[in-house]
Structure formats: structure tokens, C-alpha cells
Amino acid sequence: MSTEDIDPVKPLPPPVVEDPISLIPEFIDSDSSSYPPITPGGSLIIAWQIRNKRVLLVGGGNVAATRLVHLLNADALITLISPPSGLHPETAHRIKTHQHSITYIPRTFHLSDLNDPTINLVLTAIDDPVASTEIYTAAKKLKLPVNVADVPPECDFYFGSVHRDGPLQIMVSTNGNGPKLAAMVRRQVAGSLANGTGEAIVKVGELRRKLRNAAPAKEDGGKRMEWMSRVCEEWSFEELAGMTGAQMDVLLRGFKEGKVEGYDEVVELARVLEAATIDDAAVDAADNQENR
């Protein structure tokens, strides 16, 4: 069959096999007890990238305000539909201060609003259950993921309780069973984190980028991952959070040999090198002054 014969929309039927399980090889040495157990009933927890993607938010009350916080933090492009009389003060504030991200339509929702082909996601936060169900049904016909506030059966996904510290995001979900408990668990988890955890993650990200620039070869990918893992394991969060650019450069010197220097050694060597650099600069400045 040539590529011209393939319909890009209609998928090809799977090959006919009487017993596909019989084709699976036997792994004699495999120990299935070491595999993680399956616990049905959960959600697929993912970090959904909606940066610069259009999200339709119907409603302007306090729930819509909380949705806006999540969406703006994720750099989404938002179309918000609500009569001006239905706007919560925080929602109004977000609309006024984020006009580059929020397109405000001051009226009630029309089903034709879903015809916008740029919409990737639909959220409803209104007190009208009939209208919410109509929006949900119409969105599903268009194969758009949708969340109807406080109606779990009409949600393709839930908003959990989120802790944010720089690049660190931790979400706790009870899968629609107890939002208040999710918030309580989230506070407990956040309280158990080491001081400077978010900043430590920022510095590790900088170190990773420096390492990739220093050793960009694709075949070094596994070595980079292993080395970075060792750094994270051998340095404390506080040490990582305080890491300077000069200390990163010193630490990276050990990559080729697969060596991870300790915090004290790196700090001392970086200090010596910085002092030597300052002395060299002073000598150069003095030489330039004499040659004038």
C-alpha cells in the first residue's frame, strides 16, 4: 500500500490475531512482585502545558477567580465570559491587570462561543446547573476537555490543592471526594519541606543547563542524568539553594571523571579562584596605568 492510499483521518484497523496474548514472550527471570501495585480509581496526575493556549472560562464569581489564578500562573490565553454584574472583585482585578492574557466578553454565554477553533480547554464556574450541563455536553461533542465546577461527573479533570514555590508545584487531589481535606494535606506537605526548596530547584536547573552546554553530546545523556542525580543526593537543599555561578563552574569540572565534589571543597576552591581572578585583574589594571 502506498502512502497515497492511507486516509490520514481514519486509523488503520489492527491486524487480526486470534490470541494476541500468545505473542507476548515469557520472561522467565521476571519477578512480578517487584512491580508497583495497580490501584484503580485514581486520576492521571500530569503537568498540563497550556502556555499560550486558549482556555474558555465561563463565569466571573469567586470560583472563576481561583481558576484565573491557576490559568495565569500557567501562562494561558483566557477568554472569560460573564456579565459585568457577575464579576467578583478579584476577577475584575485580574481582567484589568492582565489584559494581554484575558479577553473579556461582558455577557452571558452562548453555545456558539464554543465554535472558536483556538479553544483548547473549557471551564465553567456558574451557579446554573442546567446551563453548565449544556456547556459540558456541547464541549464533549467537540472533543474539548471540560471542567464543570463542583460537578465531578461532568469533569474530565479536577483542580487540586496546589503548593507553589518558584518552579516547584505540588498538587494534592482527593479525586473530588474532599476538597477541604486536600487543602489540609497540602499544608502539611508544604510544612514538611526544607527551607529554600524552591530556590534549590532553580539552582539545579541552572546547573543542568550549564552541564548541557558543557557536554551537549547526545550519547552523554545518561551520564549527565546520573551525575546530576548524585549532586542532588550528596548536596543538601540549603547548599543547593546557596550555590553561586562560580561554585557551579567548579562543580562541573568533575563531570568528565564522574566526580562530584563535596560542598565545602567546592566553596573553598571557588573562593580561591575568585580571589585569584581579582588579583589578576588588579595586576592588569596596574600594568595599563603604567603604560599610559
| Confidence at residue 193, expressed as pLDDT on a 0 to 100 scale | 95
| Superfamily covering domain 197-280 | Siroheme synthase; domain 3 (1.10.3280.10)
Nearest Cα neighbor of 265 from 237, 235, 245, 221 is 235
Q: Residues 216-230: pLDDT tens digits?
A: 999 999 999 999 999
Q: Residues 182-221: pLDDT tens digits?
A: 999 999 999 999 989 999 999 999 999 999 999 999 999 9
Tell me the β-bridge partners of 123: 57, 147
Instruction: Return the CATH class of domain 161-193.
Output: alpha beta
Catalytic residue among 150, 156, 165, 249: 150
The answer to whether 54-159 and 161-193 have equal CATH topology is: no
Active site residue 127: no
217: cell is 553530546
34: cell is 517487584
| Confidence at residue 105, expressed as pLDDT on a 0 to 100 scale | 98
Tell me what the pLDDT averaged over the chain comes to: 90
| Confidence at residue 278, expressed as pLDDT on a 0 to 100 scale | 57
Cα dihedral 141, 145, 146, 152 in deg (nearest 10):
100
Instruction: Return the CATH class of domain 54-159.
Output: alpha beta
- Give the residues of the chain that fall short of pLDDT 50: 1-6, 281-283, 285-286
Domain limits of the chain? 54-159, 161-193, 197-280
| Confidence at residue 29, expressed as pLDDT on a 0 to 100 scale | 62
